[in-house]
Amino acid sequence: MKVKQLSIFMENRAGRLAEVVRLLGEAKVNIRALSLADTSDFGILRLIVNDVEKAVKVLRDAGHTVSLTDVVTVEVPDTPGGLASVLDPLRGAGVNVEYMYAFVEKVTDKAVVIFRFENADAALKVLSKAGISVLPSEMVSKL
Amino acid sequence: MIFNEKNECMSRADLQRLQGERLRDAVTRAYENVPFYRKKFDEHGVKPKDIQSIKDISKLPFTTKDDFRSTYPFGLFAVPLKDVIRIHASSGTTGKPTVVGYTREDIDVWAETCARTLGCGGGTADDILQVAYGYGLFTGGLGVHYGGEKLGATVIPMSGGNTKKQLMLMQDFGTTLLACTPSYSLQIAEEAAQDGIDLSKLKLKAGFFGAEPWTEAMRQQIEQRLPLKAIDIYGLSEVMGPGVASECLEQDGLHVFEDHYYPEIIDPVTGEPVEAGQPGELVFTCLTKRAIPLIRYRTRDLSRLNEAQCPCGRTIRRMARITGRTDDMLIIRGVNVFPSQIEEVLMKVEGVEPHYVIVVDKTGVMDELEIKVEVSEAIFSDEIKKLEHLQRKIHEEMRSMLSLSAKITLVEPKTIERSLGKAKRVIDKREVK
């Protein structure tokens, strides 16, 4: 139920982002979702790709610093209040959200949102109990 | 104004006789009281009685910075600790600082040679001295302070920093003598310009600038912006502190107070004394220091000795401005920094590989230190806050080790030049000719 997200360290210099996505493109790796977190000095590029192993190899061979993180893809009702309805049970159980970002594609009529939780296993329990749908990883890479 | 005419203007023959007597005494005290020196002298095959004149100094072995480290903290002391009334410390090559001690007599000699320093720049008992060197374990502040009191001047112990207040006191108290690093004097000039303070209205006469190397060009700049004679002073805590040597008003070489601190110039590779007037590594012997009778200390500073008589009337020889180092030590904002200290901090911070580069620059008036650290997978985290925490931790540990604030920049791996053999760890963009 946890999906592997690829994180890449990037200096705040022109062309770093272009270089990374170019490498992935040449290796025929498809980016499904991305988020770029920044500070004044550096950034972290977070990617959901269709072939994590190939992406990691290509980037490491080119000398990039990468890591893999477990994230959870949650189906969130695509209406006002939808996100709140997902966050409520998590807050009630004291589960912390580190960051989140969304997919463009949908599986059903719900929005698909990627969450990094402080404790993914605890989050999964809470979501399951609240009847909130979580997408399995095989489905996510095909989105 | 010559503070001690008798000793600063002694005939060369009398001076050499005095130095010979004092050397014999220092070597005897070292041999009898410091096990480390006894062992060193025995291994070298020399005894105190072999010292008949100052020329016999070349029979003696050298002392190095490593010797301070291996005897840390008090292994070089020739007196019981209860007779040591002051401790100072400066940067060591690793985590432990270089420790020095002073007896009451040593403090008095130190004050005397600092008073001579102030006298070299025209200072008298009628002057008002503002000490803007740091007070604390570093020898700068307290050294010049005691010299000012010995001279009989009115001493203002401002220490470093708080430039607005420095200027306010200069105006309100009528400071005539300023003691600080040369870079800081320019910082004071900058602040004055910003605040619209007319420096020509101040009563400044002379500035005593040291603790870092500076050029003639910088002297011109300082004397243009501040209405004072910029006097170069030299010292190091291992030998005493400030007050080892000072320019006089001729501003043509620094008079070494060689009745106390005997200078030699050696070839840094062979260790042999060079011919008179030739450049090489400066070596000092403390002829009168009781707490640590330092014998032939290799400073790793490069200089020359000038045997010619100075128009000021002092017969004590002059050393040239320091032209460089024989090792990789840096001086940043007047603080000694060894790249090995930086490497030690980086290794200590969990999982950090020592792929780093030290960049020293001077974009404004003050030195800036930046340490670029490559982010390997061992230290990378997906969370911004963890990387920022790492950055902050390195910054704090570095500040604790160096007493300096360094900019810590995380960079991508393989962006720092790899070299075969000795890695190029330091990029010094400042120009010091």
d(CA A11, CA A6): 17
CB contact under 8 A, B415 and A11: yes
Burial B75-97 (b: 16+ CB within 10 A, else e): bbbbbeeebbebebbbbbbeeeb
| Same-domain pairing of A61 and A115 | no
Q: Can you give the CATH number for the domain in which A80 is found?
A: 3.30.70.260
Residue B48 has pLDDT above 60, yes or no: yes
CB contact under 8 A, A65 and B412: yes
| Same-domain pairing of A37 and A54 | yes
Note whether A20 and A49 are within 8 A (CB). no
Confidence of residue B182 (pLDDT cuts 50, 70, 90): very high
User: What's the distance, CA A6 to chain centroid?
Assistant: 8
- What is the predicted pLDDT for the residue at B433? 40
| Same-domain pairing of A92 and A54 | no
| Same-domain pairing of A91 and A78 | yes
Q: What percent of chain A has pLDDT over 90?
A: 72
* Most B CBs within 10 Å, among A39, A40, A42, to test the B interface: A42
| Same-domain pairing of A132 and A77 | yes
Express each pLDDT in B275-315 by its tens digit. Answer: 999 999 999 999 999 999 999 999 999 999 999 999 999 99
The pTM for the full model equals 0.83
Strand B177-180 to B206-209 pairing: parallel
Phi and psi (nearest 5°) for B63?
Answer: -115, 140
Which two tokens mark B357?
A: 């580069």
State the sign of the Cα–Cα–Cα–Cα dihedral B176, B181, B182, B186: negative
Which among B376, B382, B414 has the least Cβ separation from residue A7? B382
| Same-domain pairing of A111 and A62 | no
Q: Can you give the CATH number for the domain in which A34 is found?
A: 3.30.2130.10
Query: What ipTM does this complex have?
Result: 0.82
Express each pLDDT in B359-379 by its tens digit. Answer: 999 988 899 999 999 888 888
User: What is the three-class DSSP state of B233?
Assistant: strand
| Same-domain pairing of A62 and A76 | no
State how far residue B30 is from chain A, nearest Cα, in angstroms.
54
State how far residue B369 is from chain A, nearest Cα, in angstroms.
16
Note whether A103 and A114 are within 8 A (CB). yes
Domain end marker among A69, A94, A128: A69
Torsion of CA B161, B165, B167, B169, to 10 degrees: -120
* Most A CBs within 10 Å, among B352, B375, B382, B412, to test the A interface: B382
Which two tokens mark B76?
A: 């070089």
Size of chain A, expressed as the number of residues it contains: 143
Confidence of residue B178 (pLDDT cuts 50, 70, 90): very high
Which among A11, A46, A116 has the least Cβ separation from residue B412? A11
| Same-domain pairing of A82 and A125 | yes
In the block, residue with structure tokens 């010094």 = B428
Express each pLDDT in B55-71 by its tens digit. Answer: 999 999 999 999 999 99
Phi and psi (nearest 5°) for B116?
Answer: -60, -40
CB contact under 8 A, A46 and B380: no
State how far residue B239 is from chain A, nearest Cα, in angstroms.
43
| Same-domain pairing of A82 and A65 | no
Q: Give the residue with greater pLDDT, B95 vs B39.
A: B39
| Same-domain pairing of A45 and A61 | yes
Q: What percent of chain B has pLDDT over 70?
A: 97
d(CA B250, CA B312): 7
| Same-domain pairing of A85 and A128 | yes
What total number of domains does chain A contain? 2
Express each pLDDT in B225-284 by its tens digit. Answer: 999 999 999 999 999 999 999 999 999 999 999 999 999 999 999 999 999 999 999 999
Which among A41, A67, A69 has the least Cβ separation from residue B410? A41
Express each pLDDT in B214-239 by its tens digit. Answer: 888 889 999 999 999 999 999 999 99
A54 touches chain B (CB under 8 A): no
Residue B334 has pLDDT above 60, yes or no: yes
Residue B351 has pLDDT above 80, yes or no: no
Express each pLDDT in A67-92 by its tens digit. Answer: 999 999 999 999 999 999 999 999 99
Domain end marker among A35, A51, A69: A69
B68 by Cβ neighbours in 10 Å (0-12 / 13-18 / 19+) ranks as buried
- Alpha helix stretches (DSSP H) within B282-431: 339-348, 384-402
- A38: containing domain: 2-69
Domain end marker among A41, A69, A97: A69
d(CA B276, CA A90): 82
Residues of B with Cβ-Cβ distance to A69 under 8 angstroms? 382
d(CA B23, CA B262): 9
A2 touches chain B (CB under 8 A): no
Which two tokens mark A63?
A: 């000398």
Confidence of residue A143 (pLDDT cuts 50, 70, 90): low
d(CA A8, CA A104): 21
| Same-domain pairing of A17 and A65 | yes
Residue of chain B nearest A41, judged by CA positions: B409
